[in-house]
Amino acid sequence: MPPELAASLAVGLVNGVLIAYVRIPPFVATLGMLSIARSLAMVASQNKMVYQFGPDHDLFLWLGGGSTLGIPNPVVVLGASCLVAGFALRWTRWGARIMAVGGNEKAAILTGLPVKRIKVGIYMLSGFMAGLAGVLEASWLGGVTTNLGQSMELSVIAAAVIGGANLLGGSGTILGAVVGAALIEIIRNSLTLLGISTFWQGAFVGTFIVVAVAFDSIRRGRCRNAGGAQRLARTSRRRIALESNQPCGIDVGSGLRDAMPRWGSGPSSRSPRLPSLRRRRRRRRLPFSALAS
Amino acid sequence: MLNLVRRLRDQGIAVVLISHRMPDVFAVADRIIVLRRGTKVADKAISATSPEEVTGPHHRRDHHRLTSDGWTTRRRRLERAIEARSHGLVARAGSAGVLGARRRPARRRRSLSFATDAFATPQNLFNVTRNFAFVAIVAIGMTAVIISGGIDLSVGSILCLSAMVTGGRAA
């Protein structure tokens, strides 16, 4: 494995171990790593600009700056990884496990999932993707300074959130994140082409993020009106389904709804609950037994 | 900033100032080179020109080149800019950058207020898709992390570290 990808996997591994085994909150652990990794990059480069990439210099520059069949190479890589990750998240045991961990971590532990290993794997994946993007970006720019990727985590999180990922865990799609990143860039590009000052771009992008998430929570709010008893029934149904190891409508996206206070207890507001549960069951493609085995 | 530039000049250090703010340029520069859309359109001593003259051809659509030369590649312009440092202070006012040569060239503001159809050109779509590809690739990993209920703030630094390791390996 190339050392740059190995390095990013190692950083991801440290992140994952700190979070899963030492139980440091992800925010704190990765905040620390934010400083550590950048300082390591400064140490490695003596804080100088790097613009020579060895004997395969031209090939390396082609990697990020060139194009294949008229498509820029980074976009080719993006498409490939989007397909692979999207498939894995939706159709494999790994993806179902991630959903289960995010939806209800305690339930996942009780079900016997190797939650800690799953978490380490996720942070390693995140590190790997960042490392991959780093190689491509270095190759595209043709030179690297130590402020590369500064405050990039914020636009990445923004892209994921616009794409429908729930910061409380349990829901989100790969394609959504890609579309979110595309939307941000399109807004930025359009503003530039329209001749609007770059100072205003942050305001537009920020408003867009808030509006996108507001729409999402309004949409969720409509099916949040279940009463407490019904919620209990739902939980026990889920548990029965868990124990009997049958395909079920396990609500992997319950993070937000479980965390929010419930209101509205009239029969009319309760009724949408059940149909949506049925719908979710129909949509589920993976038998739950695949999760636990 | 301008005082710093003046201090450096007084110490005999050449400074290349890249700016579109004419008052700054005329306050500190000795020599001015105007680039427009990647080509040099003017190269004059400050004492021989005025802000009006410099900004005129710079913004006009059918500009008249004050000086013309056959150089086309960015590399040569860069060399030229470096050579020019020996003459003292160089001010470069323009849109397309030598140092930012791999970036999307910034288009001229005034014409673009009518030119939103520039968005659908193949070149622009090529650039837009490439620009967001990096963020999107990282966002794929981030989505997995967020789905699992966590967050990863270190991606920007990991990206930088990986890029540096790439450079360090070659060296």
pLDDT in tens, A214-258: 887 787 766 554 444 455 555 555 555 555 544 444 444 444 444
Return the pLDDT at A98: 87
Contact B155 A127 (CB under 8 A): yes
Collapsing DSSP states into helix, strand and coil, what is residue B43?
A: strand
Classify residue B155 by burial, with Cβ atoms within 10 Å: 0-12, 13-18, 19+: buried
Cβ-Cβ contacts under 8 Å for A45 (sequence gap 6 or more): A144, A146, B164, B167, B168
Contact B156 A151 (CB under 8 A): yes
A-B interface: how many C-beta pairs under 8 angstroms?
332
Share the mean pLDDT of chain A: 76
- Across-strand partners of B34? B42, B93
Tell me what percent of the residues of chain A surpass a pLDDT of 90: 5
Residue by residue, pLDDT tens for chain B (171 residues) are 788 888 888 888 888 888 877 777 888 888 888 887 777 877 888 888 877 777 765 444 443 333 334 334 444 555 555 444 434 333 343 333 333 333 344 444 444 434 455 666 777 777 777 788 888 898 898 888 988 888 888 888 888 888 888 877 665
Contact B148 A136 (CB under 8 A): no
**Taking a contact as any Cβ pair under 8 Å apart, which residues of chain B between 139 and 158 contact chain A?**
139-158
Return the pLDDT at B106: 43
**Matching residue, tokens 């910061």:** A167
CB distance B157 to A4 below 8 Å: no
**Mean pLDDT, to the nearest integer, of A182-187?**
86
Return the pLDDT at B35: 81
Of A50, A54, A157, the CB nearest to B164: A50
Confidence of residue A7 (pLDDT cuts 50, 70, 90): confident
**Mean pLDDT, to the nearest integer, of A15-30?**
89
Contact B157 A141 (CB under 8 A): no
Confidence of residue A185 (pLDDT cuts 50, 70, 90): confident
Contact B145 A75 (CB under 8 A): no
Return the pLDDT at B3: 82
pTM of the model: 0.60
CB distance B15 to B8 below 8 Å: yes
Say which residue, A285 or A140, is predicted with more confidence.
A140
Residue A138 has pLDDT above 70, yes or no: yes
Tell me what percent of the residues of chain A surpass a pLDDT of 70: 75
- For chain B, the domains span 2-103, 120-170
Position A16, amino acid? G
Contact B162 A75 (CB under 8 A): no
Distance between CA atoms of residues A141 and A134, nearest Å: 10
Distance between CA atoms of residues B62 and B57, nearest Å: 8
Q: Distances in Å between the alpha carbon of B23 and those of A131, B37, B40, B50, B158?
A: 43, 22, 20, 10, 41
Return the pLDDT at A65: 75
Distance between CA atoms of residues B123 and B118, nearest Å: 9
Residue A271 has pLDDT above 80, yes or no: no
A104 touches B at CB < 8 Å: no
Least confident of A67-71, A113-117, B146-150: A67-71
Confidence of residue A128 (pLDDT cuts 50, 70, 90): very high
**Taking a contact as any Cβ pair under 8 Å apart, which residues of chain A between 255 and 274 contact chain B?**
255
* Among A4, A52, A53, A154, the residue to mutate for chain B (most B Cβ within 10 A): A4
CB distance B89 to B9 below 8 Å: yes
CB contact burial A4-23 (16+ within 10 A = b; e otherwise): bbebbbbbbebbbbbbbeee
What's the gap in Å between the CA of B117 and the closest CA on chain A?
9
Return the pLDDT at A201: 81
Question: How far does Cα B19 stand from its chain's mean position?
Answer: 9
| Cβ neighbours of B143 in A, within 8 Å | 85, 160, 163, 165, 172-174, 176-177
Residue A89 has pLDDT above 60, yes or no: yes
Distance between CA atoms of residues B96 and B103, nearest Å: 9
Confidence of residue A269 (pLDDT cuts 50, 70, 90): very low
Confidence of residue A71 (pLDDT cuts 50, 70, 90): confident
**Mean pLDDT, to the nearest integer, of A5-32?**
89
**Mean pLDDT, to the nearest integer, of A25-37?**
89
Confidence of residue A292 (pLDDT cuts 50, 70, 90): low
Confidence of residue A284 (pLDDT cuts 50, 70, 90): low
| Cβ neighbours of A151 in B, within 8 Å | 156
Looking at residue B70, the DSSP 8-state letter turns out to be: S
Residue A264 has pLDDT above 50, yes or no: no
Distance between CA atoms of residues A147 and A45, nearest Å: 12
What's the gap in Å between the CA of A152 and the closest CA on chain B?
5
Cβ-Cβ contacts under 8 Å for B142 (sequence gap 6 or more): A126, A129, A153, A156, A157, A159, A160, A165, A177, B152, B155
What's the gap in Å between the CA of A145 and the closest CA on chain B?
8
- Of B34, B20, B136, B89, whose CA–CA distance to A186 is shortest? B136
Say which residue, B139 or A293, is predicted with more confidence.
B139
A253 touches B at CB < 8 Å: no
Say which residue, A30 or A239, is predicted with more confidence.
A30
Confidence of residue A14 (pLDDT cuts 50, 70, 90): very high
| Cβ neighbours of A177 in B, within 8 Å | 136, 139-140, 142-143
Distance between CA atoms of residues B132 and A158, nearest Å: 13
ipTM of the complex in this document? 0.71
Q: Distances in Å between the alpha carbon of A42 and those of A29, A48, A146, B131, B160?
A: 20, 8, 6, 25, 9
Of B130, B139, B144, the CB nearest to A75: B130
Question: CA of A172: which chain B residue's CA is closest?
Answer: B147
Vertex A62: Cα angle to A150 and B78 (nearest 5): 70
Residue A270 has pLDDT above 60, yes or no: no
